[in-house]
Chains A and B, each alone.
Chain A
């Protein structure tokens, strides 16, 4: 082993530090949303530790608050996390045939937007130790942040809670807005998502559909329409 190259695990920790800090801050806002759904700090910690998902957990907490049926939880979890399916498909092409199978089960458990981005940006095959280095900092950042958000959310002044509650949406915007500049189909997807989500909230009859179902219906219909009108290019698979 050459000494020059740092171990993948340490490299993972280096890249995991900013990811973990960012997660901690955003998870705080997720905790505030969880609190209003009646989720306890320990439950929030458990959900974040296991799920490691922003939009997915936000949807889960919304459904808990609404006392939604199981099928709605499964379907909305599938929909809000469908991108991880795509990312895992891309990652599956980057595993060496020599990497023991169980690493697929553990690396795959924590595929998030940021961790996927960091993993795929490296050259060559996936090095599981690199992912474990990131996870060591990112997973506690996310799960402790969620629990603290639930605990502190009520201790903070209402104005501060109000301000922190938009952090999660800020994170969503940071994910969906920049690609709009490069892709007209994505720009249309986001614009139509905003427009129809708003329309479903104000129009008679449509406004009686629950927000969870609204997300499912609009995602399936608008994404299918986009896929028919603008079939993705070949390289889309790896993004």
Chain B
């Protein structure tokens, strides 16, 4: 299957996800369960996709693990998206100079 077919399927799906609520559901969602479910989805998805993948993405797993810890720490201290991403990169770069 061509990569463009994958991309078009991904685009069609994501466009529907974004635009359907704006066109069809003009009233608030009633179901408290469904609302709660959607509320938690991004956190679980991103957590599952981050770990252990971050440890496996680097040349040395130890550097990836350090980037995870630094990323969590900088996030806790209020670092913006860009600052946290940079801190993670810098950690891996510096550590892999030595290990």
Contacts and interface: CB of A to CB of B under 8 A. Distances in A.
Interface of A: 18, 21-22, 25-26, 29, 38-40, 43, 46-47, 50-51, 53, 55-60, 63-64, 67, 70, 73-74, 77-86, 88-89, 91-93, 95, 101, 104-105, 107-109, 111, 114, 158-160, 162-179, 181, 185-186, 189-194, 196-198, 201, 211, 214-215, 218-219, 222-224, 226-228, 230-232, 236-237, 239
A91 B22 contact: yes
B75 A174 contact: yes
A186 B47 CA distance: 11
B16 to A, nearest CB: 9
B48 A196 contact: yes
Interface of B: 1, 3-4, 6-11, 13-15, 17-23, 25-26, 28-29, 32-54, 57-60, 63-64, 67-68, 71-72, 74-76, 78-93, 96-97
A12 B59 CA distance: 40
A206 to B, nearest CB: 13
Contact of B10 (A51, A167, A201): A51
7 contacts: A108-B18, A166-B54, A173-B75, A176-B47, A177-B75, A178-B75, A222-B40
Contact of A170 (B1, B60, B78, B87): B87
A16 to B, nearest CB: 14
A238 B92 CA distance: 36
Nearest to A34: B3
A231 B26 CA distance: 23
B29 A89 contact: yes
Q: Give the secondary structure class of A's interface.
A: helix
Contacts of A232: 32, 35-36, 39-40
A108 B23 CA distance: 9
Contact of A174 (B9, B18, B85): B85
Contact of B7 (A43, A104, A160): A43
A83 B38 contact: yes
Nearest to A197: B48
A154 to B, nearest CB: 15
A160 B90 CA distance: 10
Contacts of A191: 47
Contact of B52 (A92, A186, A197): A197
A227 B44 contact: no
Contacts of B93: 159-160, 162-163
